[in-house]
Copies of this chain bind each other. A is one copy, B any other.
Amino acid sequence: MTVELINTGSELMLGRVLNTHQQWLCRRLSDAGYNVVRQVAVADTGEHIQQAVRESLSRADLVITTGGLGPTSDDITRDLIAQLLCKRLHRDKHVLAQIKAAFKARKRSMIDSVLVQTLVPEGALVLPNPNGTAPGLAIEVNPNPFRPDGAASWLIMLPGPPRELRPMFTDGAMPLLRRVLPSRTAFVCRTLRTSGVPESLVQEAIGKRLHKLVKAGLDVGYCARVGQVDVRLSAKGTRAAVLVREAERVVGRRLGENIYGFDDDDVESSIIRLLTKRKRTLSLAESCTGGLLANRITNVSGASAVFLAGLVTYANSEKENQLGVRPESLRTFGAVSKTVCQEMAQGVREKTGSDYAISVTGIAGPSGGTKMKPVGTVFIGFAGPKGSCVERHFNPFDRQTFKEVTTSQALDLLRRQIKQHDFEGR
């Protein structure tokens, strides 16, 4: 069972929009045992869309398109595919009623251009869109004129906006697929997320020891980020779960403490889990990361039980006012210094009464660097019931990468300190 995904949109080819559909759909399809072998993006032009659909239908059991179902002049996927498959379009009464109701609910008068969204190719199933006006469409192409053996393929068209596509895929497309194209292949995938070891050493540590399992069908992938490497273990078929479990044991033994989480389990989630279990609270004092640290912590559902407050003290005066950093420290050592960093962590811990506190102060750039403290210099501080510490890092990246990398380092320091404190506290 092979799947191909086609994302349409000139904005994609012009690089004006980030394609998030690919990851989202591929993730869900592979977890359900479907094998996505190719993803293609093409511009909103008749020639490119039809060529891509024709090619994918000549190979795949399931073809999914995204985009081009809306009411504007560049929404032409529905028309082009109907034409390619020689299917007439007819107006669907249920879709019309739903669109009318949607406009009425928003107290807006309906304009004619939206009516194009009520057109359905003959024989197509409608996937309702409770979050928008363009319905999805599903067609069994049977016989399939593009496949050498004429074997049937399914073609599913989804709308472009993620807020419409995602629920429609989950509630409309997946149940349909389970019925008409059930996957018989078990697929097991486990990602072990490590920090502090470079990619080549990760493979050096585990590669040979996984050799036997790889020969038995295990697939191993490595994905390097700044300061982090993901190890992906996956397998298909009846022995998939056994292979992956055994591989996980091998990697766990070799990489131990460097593994900070599994699958989507990011550092922030593991921190919130640790804090909740131990009934400890956290506060933050940020300067150069500008709220990103608080943002990542509060992305975790349940953060409110342990996270008290994060003070983003961008101006020096606010480091004094909100955190009680001493003016002499700022004068003598500067805002980006070990001393100020330590005072920030201790200050926010005292002001909020939290168990743990993390502070960050640095130079994100592009301006503000000096010879002694170039752009990228950053101090990360920790304060807890048993003392405090400060780390100095150098992250000479663009502004956003600087913020991301620094935030990851701060979370990693916090994770290690909480674990150590826990250990000592036993």
Instruction: Please list the residues of chain A having a beta carbon within 8 angstroms of any beta carbon in chain B.
Output: 9-20, 22-31, 36-44, 48, 52, 70-74, 108, 111, 113-114, 160-161, 163, 189, 191, 198-204, 207, 219-226, 230, 232, 234, 284, 286, 289-295, 297-299, 301, 303-304, 307-315, 317-318, 321-322, 351-352, 364-368, 397, 399-401, 403
Contact = CB atoms under 8 A, between A and B. Distances in A.
A19 B314 CA distance: 32
Contacts of A223: 9, 11, 16-17, 160
A38 B397 CA distance: 30
A13 B234 CA distance: 13
Secondary structure at the A interface, as helix, strand, loop or mixed, is: mixed
Nearest to A114: B200
Contact of A22 (B12, B36, B73): B12
A301 to B, nearest CB: 6
9 contacts: A12-B39, A13-B36, A14-B232, A15-B31, A37-B48, A44-B221, A113-B207, A290-B298, A290-B303
A17 B23 contact: yes
Q: How many copies does the complex hold?
A: 2
Contacts of A189: 14, 16
Given A12-B22, A14-B232, A43 B37 contact: yes
B299 A309 contact: no
A32 B223 CA distance: 30
Residue of A20, A23, A298, A308 with most partner-chain B CB within 10 A? A298
Nearest to A110: B200
A308 B301 contact: no
Contacts of A366: 301
B290 A299 contact: yes
Most B CB within 10 A of own CB, among A14, A160, A224, A286: A14
A417 to B, nearest CB: 20
Contacts of A30: 13-15
Contacts of A14: 26-27, 30, 36, 189, 232, 234
Tell which of A12, A16, A303 has the most Cβ of chain B within 10 Å: A16
Contacts of A221: 9-11, 44, 74
A56 to B, nearest CB: 11
A312 B312 contact: yes
B108 A198 contact: yes
The residue in A199, A291, A294, A299 that gathers the most chain B C-beta atoms within 10 A of its C-beta is: A291
Contact of A25 (B15, B225, B226): B15
- 9 tightest A-B CB contacts, nearest first: A290-B298, A15-B27, A291-B294, A15-B26, A291-B291, A310-B312, A291-B295, A309-B318, A39-B41
